[in-house]
Amino acid sequence: MPVVGQGLGGDAEGTEMLIAHVSDLHIGRDTATDRAAHLLADSVEDSGVAMAILTGDVTHRGQREELRRFETIFGRLLDRGRLVTVPGNHDRMGDSAGDAFMLGTRVSVSSRPGLHVVRLDSTGPHNRRLLSAHGLLTGADLAAVDAALKAAPEDVLTVLALHHHPLPLPTDAFPERLSNLLGWPNAAELPLGRELVSRVLGRCDLVLHGHRHIPAELVLGEGSERPLRVLNAGATTELGRFRVLSSRGGRVGGEAWIEVEGDGSSPFAGALVDPVAA
């Protein structure tokens, strides 16, 4: 269907609301990456989404200077309450810049009319080491996610946002393939990840994550009243595009990929596609 409206307000009844998913910005890695982050911030702001959800690895080395750079680049979205963030493993390195995103809690809720976002910190103390990139998920985390989902109003889009992939994904690069071959955990899916997904199935509409730099998509419970879409954004600054999802009446309506650099004639690269028909 064609894109309609700007979706800035959104409600649980009939107004279409647009949500952007971005991840793995790695701000501070190099000049080209920071330039790509600037272009991304402008594109997300111009797209008219009600909320952008950033699923970790915001910084490259977890340094406070990289965090300040992020806050400057995405300042307008942050000031307007249109960006929510969870930390990734890179954000736990250096100065542990990721502390700024969760403020001491591992599970929290960000909400607005028509939207309930459960934010889960899937990082751990081991992520201070570059080669220990795998995530952490505990029984206490699962219980906290349960409680946060129970607090979701009826007929709103409910999202679980985290950094690490809860289900197995193909490896992106040789180091990950080597890690899997050697039985190291740093490229593996979250421990208790399958349990997490089983608990949110039927109670949540989207699981949004990053970590792996190649986008992926999985639909569970397809054909049911409330299917669950598990989406990996990929590394948005490397891809030069980001996924936008539409919501109407509290359910996912369609999706599109927006090219960060276009001809300027329209912020949207294409029509939103019905995920059931796609």
Whether pTM exceeds 0.85? yes
Statement: residue 278 has pLDDT above 60:
no
Which tokens go with 91? 């954000």
Residues sharing a CB contact under 8 Å with residue 8, sequence separation 6 or more, in sequence order: 48, 50
Enumerate the β-bridge partners of residue 107. Answer: 120
Q: How far apart are CA 210 and CA 229, in angstroms?
A: 14
Enumerate the β-bridge partners of residue 52. Answer: 20, 83
Enumerate the β-bridge partners of residue 254. Answer: 246
User: Average of pLDDT values for 21-35?
Assistant: 98
CA distances 198 to 117, 142, 166, 203, Å, are: 18, 11, 11, 10
The 10 Å Cβ neighbour count of residue 1 is 12
Backbone torsions φ then ψ of 255, nearest 5 degrees: -150, 160
DSSP class of 57:
-
CA distances 203 to 117, 156, 197, 198, Å, are: 12, 11, 10, 10
Residue bearing tokens 């985290």: 162
Residue bearing tokens 């369609």: 254
Q: How far apart are CA 69 and CA 267, in angstroms?
A: 25
Residues sharing a CB contact under 8 Å with residue 20, sequence separation 6 or more, in sequence order: 44, 47, 49, 51, 52, 53, 242, 243, 244, 258
Q: Please, what's the b/e burial string for 56-88 (b: 16 or more CB within 10 A of its CB; e: otherwise)?
A: bbbbbbbbeebbebbeebbeebbeeebbbbbbb
Which of 103-112, 160-169, 258-267 bottoms out in mean pLDDT, i.e. has the lowest? 258-267
The 10 Å Cβ neighbour count of residue 144 is 17
The residue type found at 86 is: V
> Which domains are present in the chain?
17-259 (3.60.21.10)
Q: What angle do CA 65, 25, 160 make, to 5 degrees?
A: 110
- Each residue's pLDDT tens digit, 173-226: 777 777 777 777 888 999 999 999 999 999 999 999 999 999 999 999 999 999
- In this predicted structure, what is the pLDDT of residue 14? 58
Polymer length of the chain: 278
- Each residue's pLDDT tens digit, 127-168: 999 889 999 999 999 999 999 999 999 999 999 999 999 999
Residue 170: band (very low, low, confident or very high) from pLDDT cuts 50, 70, 90: confident
DSSP class of 111:
E
- In this predicted structure, what is the pLDDT of residue 68? 98
